[in-house]
Structure 1
C-alpha cells in the first residue's frame, strides 16, 4: 500500500510541474459524467496543451464511502493520458496513450456481468497499475465549453486480497490477475481557462 500512496503523491507533483510549464494558452478542467453516474465517484482532470497537436490530461477520481446494505466501492484512481489531435488541440478526433494506477476495496455488488459477478459474495482489496490506448472526439460548444466522448482499452495488473464478505476480516485468498479489456470510458464536460 505504501508504494501506491507514493505513486499518487508523485503523480500530483508531476501534474503541478506540468501546469507551471504549459506551452500554449489553453488549459481545461473536466469531469467525467459517466464516472459520476456509474460509480458515484467525484472526479476531475486538468488537460494542458503541449503544442499544436498534443495535450496532456492529468485526471483521477475517488470514492471513500459505503453504500446501503454494506456495499463497498471505495477506491482512488489516477489516469494520466498523452493525446495526439488530428486537427487542432481540443477539437475533433484524438488518440491517446494512458497509464493508470488505483487502490480499491470493493464488495457486495450484484453485477451479473462477466468477472464483476464475483463482487456479490466476496470483497476484494488491493491495487492495480497498467496502460492502454484510447480514441475520442471533442465537440466545441462555446469559447469556454466543450463536450467529449472517449473509449480506451489496454492492460491492468491487479494484486488483490479476497475476503468472504464486506464486513468479514479473515482473508480467504490473495493473488494477481492480468486484465485485458476496457480501461477507460468517458463522457466529459470541459471548461477552459484563458
Structure 2
C-alpha cells in the first residue's frame, strides 16, 4: 500500500508541474489566448477542479484540467480521486468560440466505494487508470471575459485496482484490471478569459 501512496504523490507533483508550466508563457500571450475554467459538473460532486486553456494557433488550443477530491463522507462513502486530462482542441470557427473537436488523454488515481448511485455500494476500489479519447463541444460567449462551454467525450481507459469490501479495515479481495470503452469526459464549464 505504501508504494501506491508514493506513486499517487509522485503523479500529483507531476500534474502540478505540467499545469504550472503554461504560466511561464502567459506574458507572451496575445488577445484571447489564455482562459481559466471550472467544470460545474465536478463542482456538483465536491471535486475541486481548475483548468487552463492556451491558444496555440488560430484554430488550435491546449486544455490542461486537473481534478482533486480528498473527501470521505459518512458510512465510509468516498469518491476520492485525482485526475489530469489534457486535450488538444480544433475549433471550427475561431478558438474560444463555437464548435470544437478534441483529442484527450487521461490519468487518474482513485479510492471510491459505498456509492449507490454509481453501483459501487458493495465494494471499494483503489487504483489507477490511463487512457485516451475524443470529444466534441460548444462554447457560448457571455461577455468580453466570460463564456460557458458544454463538452462530451468517449474513449478507452485501462483500470488497475485493488478491490475491498466496503467495511473499514477489511482485507483485500484481490487485484484486478479492466478495459473500459465508453464515456470519458463530460463538462459544463464556466470560463474566464485572461488575455
- Indicate whether the TM-score tops 0.5: yes
1:45 is aligned to: 51
2:168 is aligned to: 167
Q: Which has the larger share of strand?
A: 2
2:106 is aligned to: 100
1:18 is aligned to: 22
Give the Cα separation in 1 of the matches to 2:48 and 2:22.
23
Output aligned runs, 1:35-184, within 5 Å. 35-37=42-44, 39-111=45-117, 116-117=118-119, 119-184=120-185
Given the two structures, how large is their TM-score scaled by the length of structure 2?
0.90
Question: 1:14–1:40: structure 2 CA closer, same or farther, 3 Å change rule?
Answer: closer
Q: Unaligned stretches of 5+ in structure 2?
A: none
Q: Unaligned stretches of 5+ in structure 1?
A: none
Asked whether the 8 Å contact 1:72–1:166 carries over to 2, the reply is no
Q: CA deviation at 1:4?
A: 4.5
Asked whether the 8 Å contact 2:12–2:82 carries over to 1, the reply is no
Is 1:30 matched with 2:37?
yes
Asked whether the 8 Å contact 1:153–1:180 carries over to 2, the reply is yes
Give the Cα separation in 2 of the matches to 1:108 and 1:134.
30
Q: Secondary structure at the match of 1:143?
A: coil
Aligned residues: 188
Which is worse superposed, 62-71 or 78-87? 62-71
Asked whether the 8 Å contact 2:76–2:166 carries over to 1, the reply is no
Give the Cα separation in 1 of the matches to 2:148 and 2:154.
21
Given the two structures, how large is their TM-score scaled by the length of structure 1?
0.91
Q: CA deviation at 1:51?
A: 1.3
Give the Cα separation in 2 of the matches to 1:143 and 1:158.
41
Q: CA deviation at 1:8?
A: 3.5
Q: CA deviation at 1:167?
A: 1.0
Q: CA deviation at 1:166?
A: 4.1
List per-residue Cα deviations over 1:92-119 (Å, max 9, x = no partner).
00000111111111111112xxxx42x1
Cα RMSD, aligned residues only: 1.5
List per-residue Cα deviations over 1:140-167 (Å, max 9, x = no partner).
0000000000000000100010001141
Give the Cα separation in 2 of the matches to 1:108 and 1:70.
6
